[in-house]
């Protein structure tokens, strides 16, 4: 029972354009959402987060949007750079339980 879903296994965009990564969740108890980025042979690293009391959080080129009624969040990267090529995991937490999506592999072409 995957409570956090990333339905696009991969995404390819041109350098300079916007990358939009999507994530859906089913558990309405989740109250905190995070995005992690993972390069090969390394552990995931934290990218950006959002609390359920907000609908948007921005950090430089990265913006996370949360739509609680739709149980949907998205990560926007503008402008995309080749160094952004990685696997992106969305995660949702409630108390001490954090659940991850299966990940989306982003490729940014020069």
Partner 1 sequence: NAGVTQTPKFQVLKTGQSMTLQCAQDMNHEYMSWYRQDPGMGLRLIHYSVGAGITDQGEVPNGYNVSRSTTEDFPLRLLSAAPSQTSVYFCASTFGTVNSPLHFGNGTRLTVT
Q: Which residues bind partner 1 (CB under 8 A)?
A: 2, 4, 6, 9, 31-32, 34, 36, 41-46, 49, 89, 91, 93, 95-103
* Tokens read off for 89: 């995991």
- Least Å distance between CB 97 and partner 1? 7
Our CB check for partner 1 shows the closer of 15 and 27 to be 27
- Least Å distance between CB 105 and partner 1? 11
- Pairing verdict, β 72-77 and 62-67: antiparallel
- Least Å distance between CB 91 and partner 1? 8
Q: CA separation (Å) from 14 to 44, 52, 80, 89?
A: 24, 32, 7, 21
Could you tell me which residues are beta bridge partners of residue 59?
62
């Amino acid at each position: 029972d995957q409570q956090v879903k990333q339905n696009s296994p991969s995404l390819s965009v041109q350098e300079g354009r916007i990358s939009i990564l999507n994530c859906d969740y089913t558990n309405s108890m989740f109250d905190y959402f995070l995005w992690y980025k993972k390069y090969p042979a390394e552990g995931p690293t934290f990218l950006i987060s959002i609390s359920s009391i907000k609908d948007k959080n921005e950090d430089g080129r990265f913006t996370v949007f949360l739509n609680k009624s739709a149980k949907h969040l998205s990560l926007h990267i503008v402008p995309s750079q080749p160094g952004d090529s990685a696997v992106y995991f969305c995660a949702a937490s409630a108390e001490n339980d954090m659940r991850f999506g299966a990940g989306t592999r982003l490729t940014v072409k020069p």
